[in-house]
Amino acid sequence: MRTIIVLSLFLLSIRYVRSFHFLLHSEFIGEDGNEKFWQFADTVKELTVYKQGESVRSYYNLIIKKAGQFLTDLQVNLLKFALALRSYSPAVHASQQIASDEPPPEACPAFVSIHGQHSCSTKDIKKLLKAAAGRPKPYLYKNDHRYPGVIKTDVPVVILYAEIGTKKFSSFHKVLSEKAEEGTLVYVLRHFVAPQKMLLSGYGVELAVKSTEYKAVDDTKVKGRQLNKTLDDDNDEKQKEIILRKHLLESTNDMAPLKVWEMQDLSFQAAARIMSVPKFDALKLMRELSQNFPSKARSLTRVAVKQEMRKEIEENQKHLSETIGVHPGDGELFINGLHIDLDIHNPFSILDILRGEARVLEGLHNLGIKGEQQGKLLRLPVNAVDDNYALDIRHPAIMWINDIENDSMYRSWPTGVQELLRATFPGVIRQIRRNFFNLVLFLDPAQEESVELVKLADLFYKHKIPLRIGFVFVVNTKDDIDGFSDAGVGFYRLLNYIADEYDLSQTLLDQMSHKVDVGETLSVDTLSAYVKRKFPKANAKRILGVDSEYDDKRKDGALFYKKSGLHALPLALFNGVPLSPDEMEPDELETIILQRIMDATTTFQRAVFMGQLSESSDVVDYLMEQPNVVPRINPLILSTDRKYLDFTATPGDLCYSSHHPILIHYPHSPDVFTFSLLYHFYRGVRVGVIDNPNGKPSEDNTVLYRAIWASFLTQKNKAAIEFVQKLLKEESSQLLQHGTKMKELLMQGMDVDGFEKKFNTLEVDFIHSQQLFCRDVLKMSPGQRAVISNGRILGPFEEQEEFTVDDFHLLEKITLSGSTEKVKANIKQMGMKPKHASDLVMKVDALLTAAPKGEVRRDVSFIKDTHSVLRLSPRENEVFYDVVAIVDPLTREAQKMSTLLIVLSQVVNVRLQVFMNCKAKLSEMPLKSFYRFVLESDVTFQANETVSPGPVARFIELPESPLLTLNMITPEGWMVQAVRSPHDLDNIHLQEVNGVVTAEYELEYLLLEGHCFDLSTGQPPRGLQFTLGMSRDPLMYDTIVMANLGYFQLKANPGAWILRLRKGRSEDIYQIVTHDGTDSPADAGDVIVVLNSFHSKIIKVRVQKKADKMNEDLLSETSESKGIWDSIKDDGEKKKEDVLNIFSVASGHLYERFLRIMMLSVLRHTKTPIKFWFLKNYLSPSFKETISHMAESFGFQYELVQYKWPRWLHQQTEKQRIIWGYKILFLDVLFPLAIDKIIFVDADQIVRADLKELRDLDLEGAPYGYTPFCDSRREMEGYRFWKTGYWASHLGHRKYHISALYVVDLKKFRKIAAGDRLRGQYQALSQDPNSLSNLDQDLPNNMIHQVAIKSLPQEWLWCETWCDDASKVTAKTIDLCNNPKTKEPKLTAAARIVPEWVEYDNEIKQLLSRVQEQGDTAKRKQTPSPSQHKKG
Distance of CA 1184 to the CA centre of its chain: 34
Q: pLDDT tens, 483-496? A: 788 888 888 888 88
Percent of the chain with pLDDT over 70: 87
Contact assessment for residue 865 and residue 913, using Cβ atoms and an 8 Å cutoff: yes
List the 186-191 sheet strands across, edge first.
117-119, 111-114, 157-162, 186-191, 145-146
- Model confidence at 4, in pLDDT bands (50, 70, 90)? very low
Identify the three-state secondary structure at position 953. strand
pLDDT for the residue 1089: 93
> Residues near 190 by Cβ (< 8 Å), separated by ≥ 6?
95, 98, 99, 144, 145, 159, 160, 161
Q: pLDDT tens, 823-880? A: 888 888 787 777 778 888 888 888 888 887 777 888 899 999 899 999 999 988 889 9
1034: preceding bond cis by omega (within 30 degrees): no
Q: pLDDT tens, 374-383? A: 888 888 877 5
pLDDT for the residue 10: 37
pLDDT for the residue 1432: 32
- Model confidence at 505, in pLDDT bands (50, 70, 90)? low
Q: Let me know the angle formed at the C-alpha of 45 by 42 and 46, rounded to the nearest 5 degrees.
A: 130
Across 353-436, the runs of DSSP E, i.e. the strands, are 390-391, 399-400
Residue 1349 has pLDDT above 90, yes or no: yes
Identify the three-state secondary structure at position 1000. strand
SS3 labels along 1172-1189: EEEEHHHCCHHHHHHHHH
pLDDT for the residue 1354: 92
- Model confidence at 677, in pLDDT bands (50, 70, 90)? very low
Q: What is the DSSP letter of 938?
A: S
Q: Tell me the mean pLDDT in the region 1254-1266.
A: 93
Residue 1156 has pLDDT above 70, yes or no: yes
Q: pLDDT tens, 562-578? A: 888 888 889 999 999 99
Q: pLDDT tens, 691-709? A: 888 878 777 777 888 888 8
User: How far apart are the C-alpha atoms of 76 and 1270, rounded to whole Å?
Assistant: 68
Q: pLDDT tens, 269-296? A: 999 999 999 988 999 999 999 999 998 9
Least confident of 14-28, 357-371, 1028-1042, 1054-1068: 14-28
Torsion angles phi and psi, residue 1108, rounded to 5: -90, 5
User: How far apart are the C-alpha atoms of 1313 and 1045, rounded to whole Å?
Assistant: 13
Least confident of 506-515, 828-837, 999-1008: 506-515
Q: Chain-wide mean pLDDT for the chain?
A: 82
Torsion angles phi and psi, residue 1408, rounded to 5: -65, -35
Regarding beta strands 111-114 and 117-119, do their DSSP bridges make them parallel or antiparallel, or are they unpaired?
Answer: antiparallel
- Model confidence at 205, in pLDDT bands (50, 70, 90)? very high
pLDDT for the residue 509: 57
Residue type for position 284: K
User: How far apart are the C-alpha atoms of 314 and 918, rounded to whole Å?
Assistant: 9
Closest CA to 1044 of 1075, 1012, 1071: 1012
- Model confidence at 237, in pLDDT bands (50, 70, 90)? low
Q: pLDDT tens, 1077-1098? A: 888 876 666 799 999 999 889 9
Q: pLDDT tens, 1316-1345? A: 999 999 988 888 877 878 888 889 999 999
- Environment class of residue 781 by beta-carbon count within 10 Å: exposed (0-12), middle (13-18) or buried (19+)? exposed
Residue type for position 722: E
Q: Tell me the mean pLDDT in the region 772-778.
A: 84
pLDDT for the residue 328: 94
Q: Tell me the mean pLDDT in the region 392-406.
A: 91
Torsion angles phi and psi, residue 838, rounded to 5: -65, -45
Residue 681 has pLDDT above 50, yes or no: no
Q: Tell me the mean pLDDT in the region 237-263.
A: 61
- Environment class of residue 788 by beta-carbon count within 10 Å: exposed (0-12), middle (13-18) or buried (19+)? buried
Identify the three-state secondary structure at position 1091. strand
> Residues near 1095 by Cβ (< 8 Å), separated by ≥ 6?
348, 349, 352, 973
Closest CA to 316 of 300, 304, 330, 334: 330
Q: Tell me the mean pLDDT in the region 1345-1354.
A: 92
Integer angstrom CA distances of residue 148 from 24, 38, 144, 1132, 1352:
21, 8, 12, 51, 71
Residue type for position 279: K
Closest CA to 929 of 7, 2, 4, 3: 7
> Residues near 144 by Cβ (< 8 Å), separated by ≥ 6?
188, 189, 190
User: How far apart are the C-alpha atoms of 374 and 382, rounded to whole Å?
Assistant: 14
Q: pLDDT tens, 516-526? A: 555 567 777 87
Least confident of 600-604, 633-637, 671-675: 671-675
Q: Tell me the mean pLDDT in the region 450-466.
A: 88
DSSP 476-538: ---TT--TTT-HHHHHHHHHHHHHTTS-HHHHHHHHHHHHS-TT----HHHHHHHHHHH-TTS
- Model confidence at 189, in pLDDT bands (50, 70, 90)? very high
Integer angstrom CA distances of residue 705 from 711, 736, 743:
10, 12, 15
Residue 798: how many CB atoms within 10 A of its CB? 9
